Amino acid sequence: MKTIHQTFRIFTFALLVILSHTLHAQQNFTLDGKSELKVAGTSTIHDWDMVSTSGQTGKAAMKLENGKITELKSLQLTMPVSTLKSGKSGMDKNAYEALKSKDNPNIHFQLTEVLSISDNTIKAKGNLTVAGTTKNVPMEVNYKVNGETVQFTGKQDIKFTQFNISPPTAVFNTIKTGDDLTLSFNSTFK
């Protein structure tokens, strides 16, 4: 009986050690209010950009060790299309229409696969949903860990037509937007 009781104690202790390590290993993070997403493109007249600095939401689960990400379990970001601003209301209106924001009010990214994690770079794939169309896109992201805060920066080239969007036009089609876009981001998770 004494042996069974002692074995049970050892088993319980081992289980507690394993569970506490597992719970400590992975941390959950939430996107802070200081993140920025920028969309840049061209037109027949000039280059343009639109920036979102508010309204974004996101969460991530990752493991940090010695100031580095050692595991990225999940990451998702959502940005309301209406938070993208160019400083020109007419351009904003055309962009919201092209992005079909009435039916698809958000741009969404969901991590699907981590290919590699190095000292300050993550190569991954994720589902990017724009205007109701989802495409799996590769991403190379730089990161910096500061205590319990993780900052991600990077950019990704995409095309309007990749997401079934006709590049916007204006002034009776005399001003045409190019098909190529660059998404750049600076996102901080706490």
Domains in the chain: boundaries: 27-189
**Would you give the end-to-end CA distance of the chain in angstroms?**
50
- pLDDT of 12 reads 45
- pLDDT of 33 reads 81
From 107, 106, 143, select the one nearest 126 (Cα to Cα): 107
Residues in the chain: 190
Contact yes or no for 15/51 (Cβ under 8 A): no
- pLDDT of 2 reads 58
Residue 163 CB neighbours (<10 A): 20
Torsion from C-alpha of 94, 95, 96, 100, nearest 10 degrees: 100
From 126, 149, 140, select the one nearest 64 (Cα to Cα): 149
Q: Is the pLDDT of residue 62 over 80?
A: yes
Report pLDDT digits (tens) over 91-148: 899 999 999 999 999 999 999 999 999 999 999 999 999 999 999 999 999 999 999 9
CATH superfamily of 27-189: Lipid/polyisoprenoid-binding, YceI-like (2.40.128.110)
Torsion from C-alpha of 31, 158, 105, 188, nearest 10 degrees: 10
- pLDDT of 21 reads 44
